[in-house]
Amino acid sequence: MASKETNGDPRVSRNINFGRALKTALHGIGSVIKNERAMRLHLFCATVFILAGIYLGLSRSEWIWLIIVIFWVFYCEFLNTAIELIVDLIVEKKYHPIAGLAKDVGGGIVDLAMFMGLIVVAFIFQPHIWHQLGWSTQLVATLLY
């Protein structure tokens, strides 16, 4: 039954238990993945980095940093999507310079997170890549000479 604070509409209610809260949160996550192309790109990049990490044998602390930056970018994309939805709800798709600015700032949040993510990923993978390159050049030199 809907409470007074929801104006009597049963669709607008508090999450009465953890199970329902989880279900609504999963609905939000599914909606971002389905509707946001940028989120699918983040998921693709995260998969590539995780596979590369498995192949290169990252250390425990490197995995922790990688997981932190991956989820940090996801988190910022979710925040940006929430900002976009709330702005659209308020201005109803009509032009307003402040609505545009709010969306631009939201986009900036994601860009900054991605920039930070790329720096951390570069620090994590750089020694492993040099190591691999060292092995490959040694192998090529052995095969050639």
Ligand X SMILES: Nc1ncnc2c1ncn2[C@@H]1O[C@H](COP(=O)(O)OP(=O)(O)OP(=O)(O)O)[C@@H](O)[C@H]1O
Residues 25-36 as b or e (16 or more Cβ within 10 Å = b) = eeeeeeebeeeb
CB of 82 to ligand X, least distance (A): 11
Nearest to ligand X of 74, 80 (CB atom): 80
CB 72 within 8 A of CB 117: yes
Q: Which of 38, 45, 109, 120 is close enough to bind ligand X by CB under 6 A?
A: 38
- Give the x-and-dash track for 85-104 against ligand X (CB under 6 A): ------x---xx--xx--xx
Nearest to ligand X of 8, 28 (CB atom): 28
Q: Which residue in the shown chain puts its C-beta closest to ligand X? A: 100
Nearest to ligand X of 33, 107 (CB atom): 107
107 Cβ contact list (under 8 Å, min separation 6): 80
Cα separation, 134 vs 142, whole angstroms: 12
Cα separation, 136 vs 126, whole angstroms: 15
CB 116 within 8 A of CB 69: yes
Q: Does 78 bind ligand X (CB under 6 A)?
A: no
Site residues, ligand X (CB under 6 A)? 36, 38, 80, 84, 91, 95-96, 99-100, 103-104, 107
